[in-house]
Structure 1
Amino acid sequence: MTPPRKPARGETPRPLIELQDIRKSYGGREGEGGAEGGSPAVTVLHGISLQLHAGEFVAIVGASGSGKSTLMHILGCLDRASAGRYLFDGRDVSTFDGDALAWLRREAFGFVFQGYHLVPSESVLENTEIPALYAGMPEAERHTRAVALLERLGMGTRLHHRPHQLSGGQQQRVAIARALMNGGRIILADEPTGALDSKSGAEVMALLHELADAGHTVILITHDRSVAAQARRIIEIRDGRIVEDSGGMEQPAVAVDIEMPDLQASRGGASMAADMREATRTAWRVMWSNRFRTGLTLLGIVIGVASVIVMLAVGGGSQKKVMAQFETFGTRTMFVSAQVASTRNPGAPLTLADAEALRMLPNVEGVAPYIEDKVVVRRGNIDHLTEGGGATIDFSPVLGWGVAEGVMFDADDELRVAKVAVIGQTVRKLLFADGQSPVGQDILVDKVPFQIVGVLAAKGANDGEDQDDRVVVPLSAATTRIYGHPHPTWIAVQVRDIERAQETAEAIEAQLARQQAGREVRIWNRVEALRVQTETARAMTLMLGLIAIVSLIVGGIGVMNVMLMTVRERTREIGIRMATGARQRDILRQFMTEAVLVTSVGGTVGVVAGLGIVVGLMLAGVPVLFSLAASVGAFGCAVLTGLIFGFMPARNAARLDPVVALAGE
């Protein structure tokens, strides 16, 4: 929008502010005073019409309850009229939305209140900078201007004092500096000397005179006629009506034009980064000033986040333990053995033909027949009773059991009935306690010499049985040189799809029944057991996680309650910020930042506490599995909790009416 046109010689200048039949009512709707269930409206202003020009020094005087403060609130765009027109530089203020009104308060007006209305948690310098912050003034420029204003007003030595460390006159000087921060083209002073002693009051009035002489438009609201007499124009208001107006002002020596922007375009204001920095700084200060309450609020978030990490770690550890137990002989492997013979069931042993038949079944990826029985191994003068086994070359891939040293016997060894063997870690320790490498060494297996070609990888114990206490030779050598029969003790069957494990087990039973009529077999369906236990562990982990999330939600409700309390306690601060130009989104961002900062700090402490507990459990031997995703997810949930549960209190704060907020306690 272009600047206002300068009036030509002899032409009456356009009023800066023009009120046309302004009315203000509170309560019920007019005309319903006698209606059943209705309440009469209380009318405070009765058709106020007034013109104010740039550069005037005007005093609006009236007794308490006359409506002068309400008129000031309407003039300063802190409140809206119930009826009538308010023209600011020729534009109807009733058409302005909340952001446009915030722009006017920020750029055109400077408020000096009787109660000073300084933000208690901010320093003198920070209070002064508030309007410039919402105007988007760069930090360095903002700081320089604020210091210059405060030094000009005699407050240069108290830049970092808090309001409670100042006298009333000093607080009013800070309020005047704040009013001038963005230019203060129009100074609205509401009873600026009412709470001051005579000396401080005289100093404040002298400052207002200086501002008026410098070309600022000064509107003084007072009940004191001696104070009003110092203005150049006096308007008396009584019972919501103007009863006297000295009028007839001389044109000021310095005219002040206010260039209004296109209010439908960008409204300017603080940048997102600057606003977030200020919101974070203010939020941290508020948290620190209420440390005990903040700590109690954080406790719920800390417990929630730590619970998520610990619960998921314990659940993951339990699941890992189950997997480790099954991985001894492969996670996709089931075992088939013949029923023990009895008088009622003569039984029939498994055969290598059975193994070949099972290999052809759907969903079977590998088959490994295995003969086992106790054998005595000897090296030198050391004898040891161990588990002997005969296996095919499918032993390693099907059981997932490779060698840690040397090699596994191959198909050529099996074809040649070679006397080669691989031994377990326990056998190695007993027979080769002298530290020699067993590979290439000879041992006796049931008095038959075998050459060691490899050492099996460690498996540990399973169901109390040491899986590493064994020696394995080619199946052909086991049947002819050790056991004297070709019947496998069991057949390991590796499946492709564990979801079809039960179906495959039933197919194995059916196939072996066809191979040998009346034969009964036992199938150790480890795959199905693994699937069930894995699902159970997963369900348990999920349940533990949900319990922890519930605690996070409870913590979030605590955050919401505290934020609602904070909004109520800081209602006046919200009004001060709105009076100095804060938009609704600025207030919303401020309180959302506080909620997120609370939960972020709680989330960080919770992550640290959770990790500490997990480490403690690990040292105590409890199976746990740390998950970075769980830690990040728990922290993210904490922040999300702040966003969700902080939104309603923040929205309530942003929707407060400025004049109502200023009157709050």
Structure 2
Amino acid sequence: MSEPLISLRDITRTYRNGELSTTVLHGVSLDIQEGEFVAIMGASGSGKSTLMHLLGCLDKPTSGSYRFAGENIADLDKDELASLRRKTFGFIFQSYHLIPSATATENVEVPAIYAGMPRLARHTRAQALLSELGLGERLGNRPSQLSGGQQQRVSIARALMNDARVILADEPTGALDSKSGADVLALLKQLHGRGKTVIVITHDREVASHADRLVEIRDGHIIHDSGVIGRTGQPSPTADAARTPEPEAVRRAALADIGEAVRMALRALKANLFRTVLTLLGIVIGVASVVVMLAVGNGARQDVVDRISSLGTNLLLVRPGAPNVRRSVEGQVTSLVASDIDAIAELDNVRAAVPEMNGRVTLRAGNTDYSTQVTATIEALPLARDWGVSAGVFIDDQDNQRYSAVTVLGQTVATNLFGDSDPLGEYVLVNNVPFQVIGVMAAKGAAPWGADQDDVVFVPLNTGSLRLIGQRYLNSVTVMIDDLAAAEATQEAVRQTLLQAHGGVEDFQIRNMASLLENVAETQNTFTVLLGSIAAISLLVGGIGVMNIMLVNVTERTREIGIRVATGARTRHILQQFIVEALVVSAIGGALGVVLGLAFAALLQVLGTPIQFTPGPVALAFGCAFATGLIFGYMPARKAAHLDPVVALSAD
């Protein structure tokens, strides 16, 4: 007799639950030759199922030795045991253990997926096996659409998918009627006839009588063994094959086939569609919130920056006011006067220095009265403000020298006083003083601080000072510079000039518009980050939803995990499967969230909210959704990957 294929020596198996321990197998010794048909018979609780789990490498003995083809199984790690099961063992379970959401063909294909068989090849083989077993018309049926006998045939086909040499059948007829049971036993005899080693676990002596060899077990002890009968089959595979590196194609495809993993994930998610939709909703809302919030934040920032930029970034704004300032009797700041303008205008890098006096006036044109702001200034204002006229001309130096009673209207004022009529050449009363309209400014829009820049009239500086405003001091001076790179040096030169003119008293303030723009941009960036962070909380909540749904999936699909492990899935296969499912949920939710976010942002834009669409926030939101799936899917996936296969198979 050649070396036995399976050799057990003094095997014990003890289960521990806290301090309580139960020994199921007591020193079992058994040899099984290649090509035998063996029935292991015993009553319920005798230890026969535990023995089958040990024989199929689903479990490890507490003590004793299990050698498969001469190789000690104890020397194999978890993944090597999975490889051995995949290449050598085919399981036929009493409860069939089919994946409910998969078709008959897909159930049969499972072992071949982990073996790395190409999709078309395994599909063809699965259909051929099912057809051979009389299920050619049931290829696309799910387990719920098959009878008990048909489900058991699917289980047998799955056991043969990888051309297993050892068939382990646990109560293969226990849940079947007599005819279906007889058909299954006939199939087992056929498999034995083809050289397969068949081991049947049963409590039924009639079933056991179909085997060539009978082994009886009671209370964890073998009480009878009829001995080896029959032939020795083909040369047995060695357990060392489990250690042999798999071909590159196998490593590439053994559920590292991402496409197959995605298909499995979609099938599993479809099986619980309503729950999947609720999970997707959390991701969709989170991603949409991030997209909208960042689009709004970026739009608000850009809007403010554009408005400030419209005032000019090569400007220095000089305003009166500081801890030591001169004030008029009315409490107005009086530290800037017309002579300061001449001193500033003579400095290097200064292109123009534009004074402004401001006040409130009432205009009348015909029977229409209108209250607005008057700005008394000089001819350089359009240059410094980058603000031209849309009709007529602006004030010139001669108007200033002659104290001319002329005015240029802002668009808002022109519309309120004259409507659609042409105001050029017309006279308006400004505080009851007649002024001729010589021009209309181009539309400027709202200032960064919200004021309507078009709600103003311009008059010559000297005229406004003498006839309208009644003051000598200036409200502000706008200094236009040529070289923006020298802005800080020019700012300091203006400061020193004014200090000298004001007797060393710094009773003014100088604001660099370029610096202001940078500060505003930084502030708005902070605001955008804040909005994004708030939105990210929604994404975090969605991620927790993904983790919860995956934990529920692991709990509900514990038996499926056991089936996959029994058919050869390694730890990384199970880990990858559940991570891919989490990623698929997150990717679908992320894509829907991006679409919804962009659509809502577009709606806000139509309603007048400043919006800026950039690829960054979209990529960030989708990337965060994907990362959320990976991070929150890992723990449930890890839990699934480390489930004990025996416990998993016995789960409800």
Q: Please give the range of the TM-score, normalised by the shorter of the 2 chains.
A: 0.7 to 0.9
State how far apart, in whole Å, the 2-side matches of 1:91 and 1:629 are: 57
1:488 Cα deviation from its structure 2 partner: 7.6
* Cα offsets for 1:582-608 (capped at 9, x unmatched): 111110011111111112222222222
From 310, 319, 335, the equivalent of 2:318 is 335
Please, which moves more after superposition, 102-111 or 84-93? 84-93
* Cα offsets for 1:205-257 (capped at 9, x unmatched): 00000000011111111111111111111111122122221113232465554
The alignment partner of 2:257 has SS state of: helix
State how far apart, in whole Å, the 2-side matches of 1:257 and 1:251 are: 17
From 587, 590, 610, the equivalent of 1:603 is 590
1:41 maps to what in 2?
21
State how far apart, in whole Å, the 2-side matches of 1:496 and 1:301 are: 52
State how far apart, in whole Å, the 1-side matches of 2:104 and 2:416 are: 82
1:539 Cα deviation from its structure 2 partner: 3.5
User: Unaligned regions of 5+ residues in structure 2, if any?
Assistant: 362-369
1:625 Cα deviation from its structure 2 partner: 3.1
1:368 maps to what in 2?
353
2:14 maps to what in 1?
25
1:288 Cα deviation from its structure 2 partner: 1.9
Letter in 1 for 2:147: S
Letter in 1 for 2:621: A
Percent identity for Structure 1 against Structure 2: 47
- Contact 1:596/1:643 (<8 A) preserved: yes
> Closer, same or farther in 2 for the Cα pair 1:365/1:566, shift >3 Å?
farther
> Closer, same or farther in 2 for the Cα pair 1:52/1:390, shift >3 Å?
same
* Cα offsets for 1:467-505 (capped at 9, x unmatched): 4588999999x99xxx9x99987422469999x999998
State how far apart, in whole Å, the 2-side matches of 1:189 and 1:212 are: 12
State how far apart, in whole Å, the 1-side matches of 2:233 and 2:60 are: 32
What does residue range 312-461 of structure 1 map to in structure 2 within 5 Å?
A: 312-331=294-313, 333-336=316-319, 341-342=328-329, 347=334, 350-351=337-338, 354=341, 356-357=343-344, 368-370=353-355, 396=383, 399=385, 401=386, 458=444
> Closer, same or farther in 2 for the Cα pair 1:55/1:391, shift >3 Å?
farther
State how far apart, in whole Å, the 2-side matches of 1:301 and 1:567 are: 20
* Cα offsets for 1:632-659 (capped at 9, x unmatched): 2112111111111111110000001111
- Contact 1:236/1:245 (<8 A) preserved: yes
> Closer, same or farther in 2 for the Cα pair 1:645/1:579, shift >3 Å?
same
From 493, 497, 500, the equivalent of 1:514 is 500
- Contact 1:215/1:255 (<8 A) preserved: no
From 289, 301, 311, the equivalent of 2:271 is 289
State how far apart, in whole Å, the 1-side matches of 2:416 and 2:618 are: 45
* Cα offsets for 1:606-636 (capped at 9, x unmatched): 2222223222222322333334322221121
1:280 maps to what in 2?
262
1:16 maps to what in 2?
5
State how far apart, in whole Å, the 2-side matches of 1:404 and 1:91 are: 96
The alignment partner of 2:243 has SS state of: coil
> Closer, same or farther in 2 for the Cα pair 1:84/1:617, shift >3 Å?
same
The alignment partner of 2:241 has SS state of: coil
* Cα offsets for 1:160-194 (capped at 9, x unmatched): 00001111100000000000000021100011011
State how far apart, in whole Å, the 2-side matches of 1:344 and 1:470 are: 24
Q: Would you say 1:58 and 2:38 are equivalent positions?
A: yes
2:367 maps to what in 1?
none
State how far apart, in whole Å, the 2-side matches of 1:611 and 1:334 are: 40
The alignment partner of 2:22 has SS state of: strand
Q: Would you say 1:114 and 2:94 are equivalent positions?
A: yes
State how far apart, in whole Å, the 2-side matches of 1:565 and 1:100 are: 29
State how far apart, in whole Å, the 2-side matches of 1:15 and 1:222 are: 22
- Contact 2:104/2:143 (<8 A) preserved: yes
1:78 maps to what in 2?
58
Letter in 1 for 2:166: I
State how far apart, in whole Å, the 2-side matches of 1:202 and 1:443 are: 112
State how far apart, in whole Å, the 2-side matches of 1:175 and 1:283 are: 22
State how far apart, in whole Å, the 2-side matches of 1:450 and 1:516 are: 37
What does residue range 573-652 of structure 1 map to in structure 2 within 5 Å?
A: 573-652=560-639
- Contact 1:373/1:388 (<8 A) preserved: yes
From 224, 240, 245, the equivalent of 1:244 is 224
> Closer, same or farther in 2 for the Cα pair 1:184/1:328, shift >3 Å?
same
State how far apart, in whole Å, the 1-side matches of 2:460 and 2:417 are: 21
1:546 Cα deviation from its structure 2 partner: 1.7
2:553 maps to what in 1?
566
> Closer, same or farther in 2 for the Cα pair 1:539/1:72, shift >3 Å?
same
Q: Would you say 1:492 and 2:492 are equivalent positions?
A: no
Please, which moves more after superposition, 650-659 or 53-62? 53-62
> Closer, same or farther in 2 for the Cα pair 1:253/1:579, shift >3 Å?
closer
TM-score (ref. length: structure 2): 0.81
Letter in 2 for 1:664: A
State how far apart, in whole Å, the 1-side matches of 2:537 and 2:63 are: 51
Letter in 2 for 1:318: A
State how far apart, in whole Å, the 1-side matches of 2:263 and 2:487 are: 60
From 241, 245, 263, the equivalent of 1:261 is 241
State how far apart, in whole Å, the 2-side matches of 1:126 and 1:404 are: 77
State how far apart, in whole Å, the 2-side matches of 1:404 and 1:137 are: 78
State how far apart, in whole Å, the 1-side matches of 2:316 and 2:519 are: 15
1:350 Cα deviation from its structure 2 partner: 3.5
* Cα offsets for 1:35-85 (capped at 9, x unmatched): xxx735311111222221211111111111111111110110100111112
RMSD (CA atoms):
4.8
1:130 Cα deviation from its structure 2 partner: 0.5
* Cα offsets for 1:539-575 (capped at 9, x unmatched): 3333222222122212211221221111011100000
State how far apart, in whole Å, the 2-side matches of 1:228 and 1:217 are: 15
* Cα offsets for 1:412-436 (capped at 9, x unmatched): x9xxx9xxx9998789999999999
- Contact 1:350/1:489 (<8 A) preserved: no
- Contact 2:347/2:493 (<8 A) preserved: no
What does residue range 131-150 of structure 1 map to in structure 2 within 5 Å?
A: 131-150=111-130
State how far apart, in whole Å, the 2-side matches of 1:256 and 1:422 are: 105
State how far apart, in whole Å, the 2-side matches of 1:122 and 1:619 are: 47
What does residue range 543-562 of structure 1 map to in structure 2 within 5 Å?
A: 543-562=530-549
Q: Would you say 1:301 and 2:283 are equivalent positions?
A: yes
- Contact 1:172/1:192 (<8 A) preserved: yes
1:89 Cα deviation from its structure 2 partner: 1.4
> Closer, same or farther in 2 for the Cα pair 1:505/1:24, shift >3 Å?
same
TM-score (ref. length: structure 1): 0.80
State how far apart, in whole Å, the 2-side matches of 1:394 and 1:601 are: 56
- Contact 1:303/1:551 (<8 A) preserved: yes
2:108 maps to what in 1?
128
State how far apart, in whole Å, the 2-side matches of 1:432 and 1:308 are: 47
Letter in 2 for 1:610: G
Q: Would you say 1:224 and 2:204 are equivalent positions?
A: yes
State how far apart, in whole Å, the 2-side matches of 1:497 and 1:568 are: 70
